[in-house]
């Protein structure tokens, strides 16, 4: 097998090749497949380079076209986006006044590779693996159903990601609707509004395999604006595009008549501009059909919508939370009780241990007035929570602002439990679990003993103060202060 050369040259008995001569009007065979392999006669499936219009490669079975490469765009054939720079071989398409040919060159002289046109029309490149002593498929050109030549008919477009795969170009309608409804697209599409050669415009079609160039015209030196003006001047011109996508695009390629064998390739270039009647442009026919752009737009729209919905939900939740907080705080101004959750936020749920807000405590103690202060210790000031209780007037401890709205039984029970918690003897004080139990039921409560920080003189104090040899025992919560003096 030859390592390089024009187009393809091989010693395999199944494959033959030769170049195309520029000044011939006939098909020139590049590869021919034999079937069966032991039949010495010429096969009926060939890969050929067609020289008319702008050259491209076709796979034909007898005289029927099965596959089309698309025109060369400066980097590759527009119908073979998988043909890219690789570590196995380089490739080029030469087209000048002297000759037209496509060739490849194997980079590693020790590597064996072969290009095969299968009996079913598939084009496959194989690489030889020494370890397994076998050929592996390195590249396949005909990868899906949209590779079938003119599957969607004239002025149709094939998208392998759509169902059905065929549709009419924008501004075109099915030629025979009943056939299209039966998934027979061979009749193609017709213009919804005929061209009138006056006031026509163009719609851009991006990310596609360019249509068949059999009836095309080209100029390598024109820019895109010159190409557009040239097309407008010719009433038979139906579309135009750049010839070469390198360096921002150059050259001009014009189509005349129907656009055949167009398919979507998302990352493909160049763009093609399809001629449309002015009314079609006004009705949206001039909207750019950009497969890659459409995908991006769908992604962007989805992201924006999702983000917007999340922001709205967060905003609604924030407003609802604020309203709930205001309701709870507003209720607390009347009841004197603010119930809070583990995150210190006001909540509506009933808790076993209600918390009194600062405003309520300030109001109940007359702004923590010294007149209401009975004593002070390690746990802070103790107010009238004992004197009024022993006098049988515990209701006077309830603020007037809440006496009409609160549950008096719960208020009195809370006062009672509070006094049990500040008894002088620590052993008499209930545990927190018992406190929760007492607040959560209506069982009878033990009578509280004297608070540890009650400062009024009583019999016990009198007894101890009458004797200079004994001191009054202090609460277990008492603290001492050591004074340090210099010698």
pLDDT grade, residue 460 (50/70/90)?
Answer: very low
Q: What percent of the chain has pLDDT over 70?
A: 69
Quick one: average pLDDT of 228-254? 94
Least confident among 36-40, 118-122, 261-265, 330-334: 330-334
Quick one: average pLDDT of 314-337? 67
Whether the predicted pLDDT of 362 surpasses 90: no
- The top-scoring range by mean pLDDT among 141-150, 168-177, 306-315, 389-398 is 168-177
Whether the predicted pLDDT of 22 surpasses 50: no
Whether the predicted pLDDT of 81 surpasses 90: no
pLDDT grade, residue 287 (50/70/90)?
Answer: very low
Q: Cα–Cα distance between 115 and 91 in angstroms, integer?
A: 13
**What is the model's pLDDT at position 286?**
40
Output 29 or 396, whichever has higher pLDDT.
Answer: 396
Whether the predicted pLDDT of 302 surpasses 50: yes
Give the mean pLDDT of the chain.
77
DSSP 2: -
Whether the predicted pLDDT of 39 surpasses 80: no
Whether the predicted pLDDT of 57 surpasses 60: yes
Whether the predicted pLDDT of 289 surpasses 80: no
* pLDDT per position as a tens digit, 175-231: 999 999 999 999 999 999 999 888 899 999 999 999 999 989 999 999 999 999 999
Q: Please provide residue 113's backbone torsions phi and psi, each rounded to the nearest 5 degrees.
A: -145, 150
* Cβ within 8 Å of residue 435, ≥6 positions away: 417, 420, 421
Asked if 245 and 75 count as a contact pair (C-beta separation under 8 A), the reply is: yes
Q: 99, 204, 212: which is closest to 149 by C-alpha? A: 212
In DSSP notation, 456-480 reads S--HHHHHHHT-TT--PPPPTT---
Least confident among 58-72, 129-143, 225-239, 326-340: 326-340
Q: In the β-sheet with 4-5, what is the strand arrangement from edge to edge?
A: 4-5, 100-106, 89-95
65-92 as b/e: b if 16+ CB within 10 A: bbbbbbbbbbbbbbbbbebeeeeebeee
pLDDT grade, residue 150 (50/70/90)?
Answer: very high
pTM of the predicted model as reported, rounded to 2 decimal places: 0.54
Whether the predicted pLDDT of 263 surpasses 90: yes
Whether the predicted pLDDT of 344 surpasses 70: no
H helices present in 336-458, as ranges: 358-364, 387-390, 408-421, 432-440
Quick one: average pLDDT of 15-22? 35
Q: What percent of the chain has pLDDT over 90?
A: 31
Task: Please confirm whether the linkage preceding 36 is cis (ω < 30° from 0).
Answer: yes
Instruction: Enumerate the domain spans of the chain.
Output: 4-143, 156-287, 296-325, 355-465
Quick one: average pLDDT of 128-157? 92
**What is the model's pLDDT at position 29?**
47
Whether the predicted pLDDT of 318 surpasses 60: yes
Whether the predicted pLDDT of 319 surpasses 90: no
**What is the model's pLDDT at position 256?**
95
Number of Cα atoms under 13 Å in the Cβ half of residue 348: 7
Between helix 408-421 and helix 432-440 the angle, nearest 10°, is 160
């Amino acid at each position: 097998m030859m390592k390089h050369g024009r187009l393809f040259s091989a010693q395999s008995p199944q494959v033959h090749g030769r170049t195309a001569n520029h000044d011939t009007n006939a098909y020139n065979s590049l590869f021919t497949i034999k079937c069966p392999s032991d039949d010495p006669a010429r096969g009926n499936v060939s890969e050929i380079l067609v020289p008319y219009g702008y050259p491209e490669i076709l796979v034909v079975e007898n005289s029927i076209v099965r596959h089309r490469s698309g025109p060369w765009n400066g980097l590759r054939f527009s119908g073979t986006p998988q043909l890219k720079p690789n570590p196995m071989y380089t490739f080029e398409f030469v087209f000048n006044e002297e000759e037209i040919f496509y060739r490849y060159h194997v980079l590693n002289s020790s590597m064996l590779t072969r290009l095969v046109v299968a009996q079913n029309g598939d084009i496959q490149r194989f690489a030889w693996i020494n370890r397994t002593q076998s050929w592996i498929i390195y590249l396949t050109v005909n990868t899906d159903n949209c590779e079938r030549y003119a599957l969607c008919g004239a002025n149709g477009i094939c998208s392998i990601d759509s169902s059905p795969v065929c549709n009419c170009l924008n501004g075109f309608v099915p030629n025979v609707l009943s056939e299209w409804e039966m998934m027979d697209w061979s009749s193609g599409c017709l213009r919804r509004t005929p061209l009138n050669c006056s006031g026509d415009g163009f719609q851009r079609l991006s990310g596609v395999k360019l249509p068949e160039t059999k009836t095309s015209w080209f100029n390598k030196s024109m820019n895109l604006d010159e190409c557009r003006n040239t097309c407008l001047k010719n009433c038979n011109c139906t579309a135009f595009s750049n010839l070469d996508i390198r360096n921002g695009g150059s050259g001009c390629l014009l189509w005349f008549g129907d656009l055949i064998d167009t398919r979507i390739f998302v990352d493909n270039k160049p763009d093609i501009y399809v001629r449309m009647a002015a009314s079609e442009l006004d009705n949206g026919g001039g909207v750019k059909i950009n497969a890659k752009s459409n995908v991006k737009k769908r992604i962007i729209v989805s992201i924006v919508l999702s983000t917007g919905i999340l922001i709205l939900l967060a905003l609604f939740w924030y407003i609802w939370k604020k309203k709930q907080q205001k309701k709870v705080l507003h209720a607390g101004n009347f009841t004197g009780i603010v119930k809070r959750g583990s995150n210190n936020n006001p909540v509506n749920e009933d808790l076993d241990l209600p918390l009194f807000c600062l405003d309520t405590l300030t109001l109940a103690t007359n702004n923590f007035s010294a007149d209401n202060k009975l004593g002070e210790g390690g746990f802070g000031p103790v107010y009238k929570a004992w004197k009024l209780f022993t006098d049988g007037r515990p209701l006077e401890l309830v603020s007037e602002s809440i006496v009409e709205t609160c549950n008096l039984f719960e208020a009195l029970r809370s006062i009672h439990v509070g006094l049990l918690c500040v008894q002088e003897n620590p052993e008499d004080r209930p545990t927190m679990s018992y406190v929760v139990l007492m607040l959560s039921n209506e069982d009878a409560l033990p009578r509280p003993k004297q608070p540890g920080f009650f400062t009024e003189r009583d019999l016990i104090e009198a007894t101890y103060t009458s004797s200079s040899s004994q001191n009054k025992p202090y609460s277990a919560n008492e603290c001492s202060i050591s004074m340090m003096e210099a010698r």
